[in-house]
């Protein structure tokens, strides 16, 4: 028999630097140490972040990407340190992990054996020690995870995803992978990317599908778009599994160049049918859930030593003139997470009144002014949202019950207040970012929803059937009151990490005119 | 001040049926019960799965999507049960959760109050009690999560994702969101989808980006494709953070109609730089890691009561003539996970010899024959892969060291064996699915890699720079030996759930000619 069995060997990888430096691991390793009660024999693989050669001893910081500080390596015999040990080189070091006499670190590695796994010519290496501009790093996006700023962001992003997943798990939600390719054209909001009809290569495949019904030039027999939101699809799962969520890519062919828009981004979306125990009905109940989710997830980042250090890195990157503002913002973030006092909540109507008072004050005092006059029925401008969160509240604020014309068809109609018609929705505004989360009660009443779709120009009938007939089915067959929200994941990373531009909140950013790799 | 504070209220949702039926929760609830030591007052929201009206008592099974069995509801006064309580209707029931006298369930709900939240006309409801064909449910994909088969699959999928995430976390990996839009044209493998140059809507946006360098008609200034694999991008993160993985959508404009291909699917991919402690070097080390990952993740599904029941549902769905085969397959799966004996491993060369012997035996005995004669240098056909896993081994089998011409440029060249040139790679074949995982040692030697790219026709130079110059950079600057693999997530669901077609392993399947919703 030619198939052999594996010999028994471990399927577990060696400990990472983060695992080695964790207090419990170090003490466990020392128990088996042959050298002393303090030291443990370890092997570490990583990249050289910095090196300091001295006459009697040399030092290097080695990173394997698992923590922000790396590991301090001490070379007691500098003459044995090869010249290839340069910034960016990949190395494998073996030695004794022991208590460090230096300040700022508990442990250091006393190196006994050095192997260079990959050279890095310091003359040519683009990732130099001095500060590199964001723009330079976007041009070298394949190398930028080697900077401490991007590496810390990636660890924060990972931790946020993990903590959010864990929160949804505890709350009984099911994670569902909603589709990226869709026949929906954006639910009428924003621009969508469309797939090309033909592809570059000929397809000499014998099993070509039968000619498609509506358009034989289309791969799918009909036009295909990239999704702008998972919500409608997620609602189909809500009517079967109640509590569902997803963290999924979404796409907008958005040409504006702002610090909070990307063409490809990740959205966390959730839909469910019951509100927190004892909470206010409707929108306030959703807001309570969202606040609970953000407090729980961000708090675990604030208390864990690893992510806390990553936040020190990402918050610490700023020009001098912004340092004071960043210090204030980070305090606001921690207050929002730790304070017992619940987050502020106000209606859109009250927000407009408040903004109008501020606008009048600015006019009277000739202070720096809003560019746009706040008016009931018009969108809150970015400057308005920022003022509300950053100046008026100094922290997160929920703004609820927007006018019907500003929001999509699927948000539930409130009872009219005079001639003002609003929907049961909210935006969560946070300092430095603006809109972080948007959500609503969904319109569950079949007749109201159909009217709203027709008013929005989305009800195109073919052969007597509407394009969104399937979405109406969700109401016809056991559809019941439910709620949901969407959160831009890069904006969350921006808020938690104090990172100014969402282009630095995603591993490889894409925006109009830019698609590297 | 118009912003108000929330009143203190919970941000926690009420318990789900799964949470209510968990042993610890039920006993905890009973402590606070005002009725008896056994019973607890609870409210449950869900959908009616079945109803049985009798003279003196009525019964219904209520599902909220969190478990396969649902909750048995008992109505002691049938005259008070409204006629709207029909299959598919959404209901809110309040009553006492207590021990059930019936077999097959621990608890039941003695209903005291009934609220109908959403009607469902049983005459029109497409999801009827009798078995529905896969094809009918694909046509009604927005409703199919209401069937027990698809709901169980979605819970298995969720659990697999959770357990794999937890395994990678323990092993020190970082989850990275690799981009979906890419300028790479498929690394020369398979067909890619391309974005259309123009979009449907005019973009009257003031902030239009500057004219793009190479193609002003393209949104990104250059052609954009949907990714077929995250691997090359993931390698860029590997050279900074060492252990990285992703679970990401991927796309293939694949026209063939098989039971294991989708146009949009999810791939788990991982790259890292060190092998398990004490493992064989190279490919065998990766195989040991992959086996450990699958054993750990699937085992936790096999031992958890909830997912075990979901597997009973998904494995139980078969026509009579396939029941025996399915029973055997499920035994093979459990044996592969539980048995101490490690999985089989064989080289491609030995696999071909074995297949040739079988081919000759079939010819001699005039048995049912392979359609294709096994030949060194040619791809293993699907029939060959299935025979190896299902007949020869009866379980998972790693096939390693394929000929160079059958595999992509990035796989590491082995030392030549005579005139046979192979690469350091593997495919993991499992019964019922065929190829589940594919991986390799990556070619880290700059000169060899460049030669391989040129031979593969991928090195198109513009202004003296190759299209994959960035990928070469990863080797130039501290690149070191590393390995990786990719696993089709739907194929994993298919293997673990005993589901015949991957179209039933993803929430909303897309394939050539078909794009619903």
pLDDT in tens, B117-159: 999 999 999 998 888 999 999 999 999 999 999 999 999 999 9
Q: Are strands A107-118 and A71-75 parallel, antiparallel or unpaired?
A: parallel
Asked whether residue A202 carries a pLDDT value surpassing 90, the answer given is no
Asked whether residue A445 carries a pLDDT value surpassing 80, the answer given is yes
Chain mean pLDDT for chain B: 89
User: What pLDDT does residue B461 have?
Assistant: 82
SS3 of chain A: helix, strand, coil, percent, to 5: 35, 20, 45
Chain B residue closest to A12 (CA)?
A: B276
CA angle centred on B86, ends B83 and B88, rounded to 5°: 150
Q: Is B403 on the interface with A (CB under 8 A)?
A: no
Asked whether residue B213 carries a pLDDT value surpassing 70, the answer given is no
Contacts with B292 from chain A: Cβ below 8 Å:
10-12
SS (H, E, C) A98-160: EECCCCCCCEEEEEEEEEEEECCCCCCCCCCCCCCCHHHHHHCCCCHHHCHHHHHHHHHHHHH
Written as six digits, the tokens of A352 are 């407009």
Contacts with A355 from chain B: Cβ below 8 Å:
none
User: What pLDDT does residue B276 have?
Assistant: 74
Contacts with B151 from chain A: Cβ below 8 Å:
240-241
Backbone CA torsion sign across A274, A275, A277, A281: negative
- Distance from the first to the final alpha carbon of chain B: 46
pLDDT in tens, A106-134: 899 999 999 999 999 999 999 988 889 99
Nearest CA among B501, B189, B248, B233 for reference residue A180: B248
Query: Which is more confident, A28 or B344?
Result: B344
Q: Is A199 on the interface with B (CB under 8 A)?
A: yes
Instruction: Return phi, psi of residue B113, to 5°.
Output: -140, 135
Chain mean pLDDT for chain A: 89
Q: What is the spatial distance between Cα A35 and Cα A23, in angstroms, rounded to a whole number?
A: 19
Asked whether residue A208 carries a pLDDT value surpassing 90, the answer given is no
Q: What is the spatial distance between Cα B328 and Cα B322, in angstroms, rounded to a whole number?
A: 10
Asked whether residue B393 carries a pLDDT value surpassing 60, the answer given is yes
Residue B342 to residue A5, Cβ atoms within 8 A: yes
Least CB–CB distance from B2: residue in A12, A346, A513: A346
List all residues 6 or more positions away from A358 whose beta carbon is below 8 Å from its beta carbon. Answer: A370, A387, A392
Q: Is A106 on the interface with B (CB under 8 A)?
A: no
Asked whether residue A384 carries a pLDDT value surpassing 80, the answer given is yes
Residue A158 to residue B176, Cβ atoms within 8 A: yes
Q: Is B24 on the interface with A (CB under 8 A)?
A: no
Q: What is the spatial distance between Cα B517 and Cα B514, in angstroms, rounded to a whole number?
A: 10
Contacts with A158 from chain B: Cβ below 8 Å:
174-176
Q: What is the spatial distance between Cα B341 and Cα B323, in angstroms, rounded to a whole number?
A: 27
Contacts with A177 from chain B: Cβ below 8 Å:
157, 249, 266, 506-507
Q: What is the spatial distance between Cα A231 and Cα B168, in angstroms, rounded to a whole number?
A: 29
Arithmetic mean of pLDDT, A430-446: 96
Contact by Cβ (8 Å): B133, B501: no
User: What pLDDT does residue B211 have?
Assistant: 44
Asked whether residue A181 carries a pLDDT value surpassing 80, the answer given is yes
Residue A183 to residue B287, Cβ atoms within 8 A: no
Percentage with pLDDT > 70 across chain A: 90
Range scoring the smallest mean pLDDT among A81-90, A310-319, B4-13, B266-275: B4-13
Give the model's confidence band at B24: pLDDT under 50 very low, under 70 low, under 90 confident, else very high. Answer: low
DSSP conformation class of B410:
T
Q: Is B64 on the interface with A (CB under 8 A)?
A: yes
Q: Is B392 on the interface with A (CB under 8 A)?
A: yes
Best residue of B6, B355, B427 to probe chain A, by most A CBs closer than 10 Å:
B6
Q: Is A32 on the interface with B (CB under 8 A)?
A: no
Chain A residue closest to B146 (CA)?
A: A240
Nearest CA among A38, A148, A120, A482 for reference residue A289: A482
Residue A13 to residue B272, Cβ atoms within 8 A: yes
Chain A residue closest to B9 (CA)?
A: A279
| CA distances, A198 to each of A4, A195, A216, B193, B347 (Å) | 47, 9, 10, 8, 40
Q: Is B65 on the interface with A (CB under 8 A)?
A: yes
Q: What is the spatial distance between Cα A53 and Cα A74, in angstroms, rounded to a whole number?
A: 10
Give the model's confidence band at B78: pLDDT under 50 very low, under 70 low, under 90 confident, else very high. Answer: confident
Helix axes B469-476, B231-241, angle to 10 degrees: 30
Residue B45 to residue A195, Cβ atoms within 8 A: no
Chain A residue closest to B284 (CA)?
A: A6
Chain B residue closest to A195 (CA)?
A: B195
Residues 437-466 of B with CB under 8 A from A: 444
Written as six digits, the tokens of B233 are 């991008």
Least CB–CB distance from B3: residue in A64, A284, A393: A393
Residue A3 to residue B397, Cβ atoms within 8 A: yes
Q: Is B181 on the interface with A (CB under 8 A)?
A: yes
Q: Is B163 on the interface with A (CB under 8 A)?
A: no
Nearest CA among A153, A150, A162 for reference residue A298: A162
CA gyration radius, chain B: 28
Q: What is the spatial distance between Cα A346 and Cα A343, in angstroms, rounded to a whole number?
A: 10
Asked whether residue A30 carries a pLDDT value surpassing 70, the answer given is no
Written as six digits, the tokens of A435 are 């809109």
Nearest CA among A275, A273, A253 for reference residue A264: A253
Arithmetic mean of pLDDT, A87-103: 92
Nearest CA among A299, A171, A481, A269 for reference residue B10: A171
Q: What is the spatial distance between Cα B311 and Cα B307, in angstroms, rounded to a whole number?
A: 6
Residue A255 to residue B444, Cβ atoms within 8 A: no
Displacement of CA A272 from its chain's centroid (Å): 21
Q: Is B204 on the interface with A (CB under 8 A)?
A: no
Chain A residue closest to B175 (CA)?
A: A158
Range scoring the smallest mean pLDDT among A203-217, A246-260, A460-474: A203-217
B52's enclosing H/E stretch is strand B40-53
Chain B residue closest to A267 (CA)?
A: B177
Least CB–CB distance from B174: residue in A154, A254, A444: A154
Least CB–CB distance from B478: residue in A120, A161, A249: A120
Percentage with pLDDT > 70 across chain B: 90
**What ipTM goes with this model?**
0.93
User: What pLDDT does residue A24 have?
Assistant: 63
Asked whether residue A167 carries a pLDDT value surpassing 70, the answer given is yes
Contacts with A512 from chain B: Cβ below 8 Å:
208-209, 219-220
Written as six digits, the tokens of B255 are 């026209």
Q: A256-269 burial by CB neighbour count: b if 16+ within 10 A, else e?
A: eeeebbbbbbbbbb
Asked whether residue A458 carries a pLDDT value surpassing 90, the answer given is no
Written as six digits, the tokens of B195 are 């974005």
Q: What is the spatial distance between Cα B59 and Cα B73, in angstroms, rounded to a whole number?
A: 6
Give the model's confidence band at B36: pLDDT under 50 very low, under 70 low, under 90 confident, else very high. Answer: very low
Contacts with B258 from chain A: Cβ below 8 Å:
207
B155's enclosing H/E stretch is helix B148-170
Q: What is the spatial distance between Cα B345 and Cα B400, in angstroms, rounded to a whole number?
A: 7
């Amino acid at each position: 028999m030619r198939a052999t069995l594996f010999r028994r060997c471990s399927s577990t990888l060696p400990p990472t630097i983060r695992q080695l430096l964790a207090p419990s691991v170090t003490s466990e390793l020392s128990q088996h140490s042959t050298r002393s009660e303090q030291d443990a024999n370890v092997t570490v693989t990583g990249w050289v972040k910095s090196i300091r050669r001295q006459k009697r001893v040399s030092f290097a910081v080695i990173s394997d990407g698992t923590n922000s500080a790396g590991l301090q390596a001490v070379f007691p015999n500098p003459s044995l340190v090869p010249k290839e040990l340069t910034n960016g080189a990949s190395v494998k070091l073996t030695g004794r992990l022991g208590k460090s006499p230096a300040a700022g670190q508990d442990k250091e590695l006393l190196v006994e054996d050095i192997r260079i796994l990959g050279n890095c010519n310091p003359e040519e290496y683009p990732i130099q020690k001095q500060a590199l501009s964001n723009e330079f790093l976007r041009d070298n996006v394949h190398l930028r995870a080697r900077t401490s700023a991007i590496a810390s962001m990636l660890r924060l992003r990972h931790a946020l995803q993990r903590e959010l997943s864990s929160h949804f798990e505890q709350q009984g939600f099911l994670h569902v992978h909603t589709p990226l390719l869709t026949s929906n054209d954006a639910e009428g909001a924003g621009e969508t990317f469309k797939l090309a009809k033909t592809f570059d290569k000929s397809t000499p495949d014998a099993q070509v599908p039968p000619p498609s019904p509506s358009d034989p030039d289309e791969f799918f027999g009909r036009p295909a778009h990239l999704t702008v939101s998972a919500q409608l699809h997620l609602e189909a799962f809500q009517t079967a599994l109640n509590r569902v969520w997803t963290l999924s890519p979404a796409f907008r062919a958005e040409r504006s160049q702002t610090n909070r828009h990307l063409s490809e981004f990740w959205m966390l979306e959730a839909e469910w049918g019951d509100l927190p125990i004892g909470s206010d009905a409707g929108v306030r109940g959703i807001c309570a859930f969202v606040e609970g989710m953000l407090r729980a997830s961000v708090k675990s980042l604030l208390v864990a030593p690893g992510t806390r250090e990553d936040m020190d890195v990402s918050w610490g990157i700023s020009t001098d003139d912004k340092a004071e503002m960043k210090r204030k913002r980070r305090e606001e973030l921690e207050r929002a997470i730790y304070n017992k006092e619940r987050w502020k909540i106000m209606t859109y109507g009250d927000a407009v009144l408040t903004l109008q008072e501020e606008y009048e004050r600015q006019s009277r005092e000739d202070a720096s002014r809003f560019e746009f006059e706040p008016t009931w029925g018009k969108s809150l401008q970015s400057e308005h949202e920022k003022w509300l969160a950053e100046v008026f509240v100094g922290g997160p604020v929920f703004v609820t019950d927007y006018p019907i014309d500003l929001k999509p068809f699927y948000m539930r109609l409130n009872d009219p207040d005079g001639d003002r018609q609003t929907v049961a929705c909210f935006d969560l505004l946070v300092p430095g970012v603006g809109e972080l989360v948007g959500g609503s009660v969904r319109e569950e009443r079949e007749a109201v929803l159909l009217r709203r779709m027709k008013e929005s120009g989305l009800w195109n009938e073919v052969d007597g059937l509407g394009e969104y007939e399937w979405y109406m089915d969700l109401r016809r067959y056991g559809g019941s009151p439910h709620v949901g929200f969407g959160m831009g994941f890069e904006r969350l990373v921006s808020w938690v990490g104090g990172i100014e531009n969402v282009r630095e909140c995603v591993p490889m950013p894409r925006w109009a005119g830019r698609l590297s790799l």
